[in-house]
């Protein structure tokens, strides 16, 4: 039977009831910051995405959820399913505290598809002694494509810190998707930390997924990085954007591996690209990759605890990431919810082999409605601002492409400017340079009392052979008249040469989230903003140039975005 029809029958006759009433139109009333097409539960706190997978044609997303309030605590695994990664149906929590091994919380984990197509989840529990331990759960009914009931292993916990294994019971969490080795044994890594701040990915092996043995050496470790949370380890093709299954061996010339860690001390998701020795079970980052503040990140704004999975139906790797709030806790309690998931992103290795490229899944484009198109407009120097009329600017998808003229008039970059966020903070949107700032003003009030600007600057490299440096910024300093919100300005370098290619920007705007992709996904910045005036129909969208040189707007396409069906 067609899976879409199965979902329809279940929605019609099951426990799910659709209420098409005034509550669908909360954005302009009591809930102006709830999103129209980003994933979030109906209420309460949400953080890490857990165990995303595809099973019998149904996509599953589990997530850390507090069923009792809008702040962290009482954590269970929330559960929603979809046929298209855009519209989501909610289910009862999949995993809740019930055993001594998870009685104080069911924390983050991953899903693995075993041979024969059987899914299992590995997750961290806080046990009765307040230790972090690893537990296993399996579906009760494999014929149910929605996997609504789960059974925990009587052997739990399968992995636990003990006096003889030297593991810190307070820093032992977040198992990855497991992968199968040449020897037929499964591997999984757990995030942890040793003395003196050495972060590490502890490696375990198992033949039956029940009995696990700790490897003498971690898969990888690094000094001074602090505890590693939510590690993710997966193969990527050296060329093309096709994804690779986690257990795929491939051949070394064709495949690289990515190790991502969530650095708790920085609240950043950092990654390296490197080589995995399957015989020694050791991962070595390629030359040039370092784990410090300059390490590459999936997203240079609010984005943490990310998780990927291999979508076997479309042969792509898809990335989920938690986007938390920028508002005070009291505001979250008042509105009754906290936390979003970023739009799922297809992810692959760029042609340089040095960075991962990300792009919103193509399915999100089916929400595009009314379109506005511009071509070949010149943004004159020193204050050119053009309003984009004809769309609902509070819920939109905007793609724009710029061509910079007179590149020789770009300002030289300062020798110490190695931190893009610092550049964007010091050279904010009001500071004019030779080329930039130019970009978008989104969620803007009519008279610009409030707006969030997403823009570029072009600098001349100090070494002439290096050409130009492109910086992308997301400036929240004027995003709201409410001074109690976090209004950090974010920044990232974009690895493109403006001499040969346009500078592109795609921004997904959804009431309180501004998710931006520069250089066709070479740099991503996500911001959370809460305007007081620029809400609903009172929100405006502008294209601007404040630099001392003109910039050509080669193309602009902006769409209204329809509201998705998400956990209503």
pLDDT value at residue 252: 61
Cα 146 from Cα 60, distance rounded (Å): 8
Once rounded to an integer, what is the mean pLDDT over residues 447-465? 91
Assign 32 a pLDDT band (cuts: 50, 70, 90): very high
Tell me the per-residue pLDDT of 383-420, one tens digit each, with 9 for 90 and over. Answer: 899 999 999 999 999 999 999 988 999 999 988 899 99
pLDDT value at residue 470: 97
- Record the tokens describing residue 233, joined without a space: 């380890």
Once rounded to an integer, what is the mean pLDDT over residues 438-448? 97
| Higher-pLDDT residue of 8, 529 | 529
Assign 465 a pLDDT band (cuts: 50, 70, 90): low
Assign 251 a pLDDT band (cuts: 50, 70, 90): low
Catalytic residue among 21, 48, 164, 299: 48
pLDDT value at residue 14: 38
| Reported pTM | 0.93
Assign 292 a pLDDT band (cuts: 50, 70, 90): low
Assign 476 a pLDDT band (cuts: 50, 70, 90): very high
Question: Which domains are seen in the chain, by residue range?
Answer: 3-32+45-360 (2.115.10.20), 369-561 (2.60.120.560)
Once rounded to an integer, what is the mean pLDDT over residues 368-388? 93
Distance of CA 219 to the CA centre of its chain: 24
| Burial of residue 500, with CB atoms counted within 10 A of its CB: 0-12 exposed, 13-18 middle, 19 or more buried | exposed
- Catalytic residue flag (residue 195): no
Counting residues of the chain whose pLDDT is more than 90, the rounded percentage is: 83
What is the overall mean pLDDT for the chain? 92
Tell me the per-residue pLDDT of 526-545, one tens digit each, with 9 for 90 and over. Answer: 999 999 999 999 999 999 99
DSSP 148: -
Least Cα distance to 108 among 49, 167, 164, 150 occurs for 49
Least confident piece of the model among 461-470, 490-499, 518-527: 461-470
Once rounded to an integer, what is the mean pLDDT over residues 505-523? 98
Counting residues of the chain whose pLDDT is more than 70, the rounded percentage is: 93
Q: How far apart are the first and last CA of the chain?
A: 25
pLDDT value at residue 250: 63
DSSP string, 443-479: EE-TTSSS-EEEEEEEEE-SSGGG-EEEEEEEE-TTS
| Higher-pLDDT residue of 16, 126 | 126
pLDDT value at residue 27: 44
- ∠ CA 501-505-506 to the nearest 5 degrees? 135
Q: Strand 132-139: give its sheet, edge to edge.
A: 106-114, 118-126, 132-139, 150-152
Once rounded to an integer, what is the mean pLDDT over residues 311-323? 98
DSSP string, 543-567: EEE-SSS-EEEEEEEEEEEPPP-B-
pLDDT value at residue 1: 46
Residue 3 has pLDDT above 50, yes or no: no
Once rounded to an integer, what is the mean pLDDT over residues 43-64? 98
């Amino acid at each position: 039977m067609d899976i879409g029809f199965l979902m329809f029958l279940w929605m019609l006759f099951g426990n799910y009831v659709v209420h098409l009433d005034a509550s669908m139109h909360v954005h302009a009333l009591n809930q102006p910051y709830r999103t129209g097409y980003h994933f979030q539960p109906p209420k309460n706190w949400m953080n890490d995405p857990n165990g995303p997978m595809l099973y019998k044609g149904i996509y599953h997303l589990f997530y850390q959820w507090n069923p009792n309030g809008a702040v962290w605590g009482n954590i269970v695994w929330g559960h929603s399913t979809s046929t298209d990664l855009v519209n989501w149906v909610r289910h009862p929590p999949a995993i809740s505290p019930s055993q001594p091994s998870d009685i104080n919380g069911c924390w983050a984990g991953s899903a693995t598809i075993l041979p024969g197509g059987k899914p299992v989840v590995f997750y961290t529990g806080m046990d009765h002694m307040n230790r972090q331990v690893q537990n296993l759960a399996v579906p009760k009914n494999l014929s149910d494509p929605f996997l609504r009931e789960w059974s925990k292993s009587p052997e739990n916990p399968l992995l636990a810190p003990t006096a003889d294994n030297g593991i810190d019971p307070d820093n032992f969490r977040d198992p990855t998707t497991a992968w199968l080795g040449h020897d037929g044994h499964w591997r999984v890594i757990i995030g942890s930390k040793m003395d003196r701040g050495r972060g590490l990915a502890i490696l375990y092996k198992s033949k039956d997924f029940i009995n696990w043995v700790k490897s003498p050496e971690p898969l990888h470790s690094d000094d001074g990085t602090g505890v590693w949370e939510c590690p993710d380890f997966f193969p990527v093709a050296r060329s093309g954007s096709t994804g690779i299954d986690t257990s795929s061996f491939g051949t070394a010339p064709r495949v690289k591996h990515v190790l991502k860690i969530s650095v708790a001390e920085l609240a950043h998701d950092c990654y390296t690209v490197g080589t995995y020795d399957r015989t020694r079970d050791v991962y070595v980052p390629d030359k040039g990759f370092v784990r410090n503040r300059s390490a590459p990140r999936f997203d240079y704004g609010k984005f943490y605890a990310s998780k990927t999975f291999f979508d076997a139906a479309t042969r792509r790797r898809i990335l989920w990431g938690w986007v938390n709030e920028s508002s005070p806790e009291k505001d979250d309690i008042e509105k009754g919810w906290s936390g979003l998931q970023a739009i799922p992103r297809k992810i692959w290795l760029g042609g340089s082999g040095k960075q991962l490229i990300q792009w919103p899944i193509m399915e999100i484009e089916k929400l595009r409605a009314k379109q506005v198109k511009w071509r070949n407009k010149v943004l004159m120097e020193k204050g050119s601002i053009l309003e984009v009329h004809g769309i609902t600017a509070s819920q939109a998808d905007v793609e724009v492409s710029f061509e910079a003229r007179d590149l020789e008039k770009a300002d030289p970059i300062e020798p110490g400017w190695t931190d893009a966020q610092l550049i964007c903070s010091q050279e904010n949107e009001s500071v004019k340079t030779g080329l930039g700032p130019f970009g978008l003003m989104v969620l803007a009030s009519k008279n610009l009392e409030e707006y969030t600007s997403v823009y570029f600057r072009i600098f001349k490299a100090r070494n002439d052979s290096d050409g130009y440096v492109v910086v992308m910024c997301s400036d929240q300093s004027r995003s709201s008249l409410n001074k109690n919100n976090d209004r950090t300005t974010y920044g990232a370098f974009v690895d493109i040469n403006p001499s040969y290619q346009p500078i592109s920007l795609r921004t997904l705007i959804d009431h309180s989230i501004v998710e931006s992709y520069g250089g066709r996904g070479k740099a991503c910045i996500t911001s959370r903003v809460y305007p007081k005036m620029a809400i609903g129909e009172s929100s405006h969208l502008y294209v601007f140039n404040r630099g001392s040189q003109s910039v050509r707007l080669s193309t602009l396409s902006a769409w209204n975005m329809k509201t998705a069906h998400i956990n209503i």
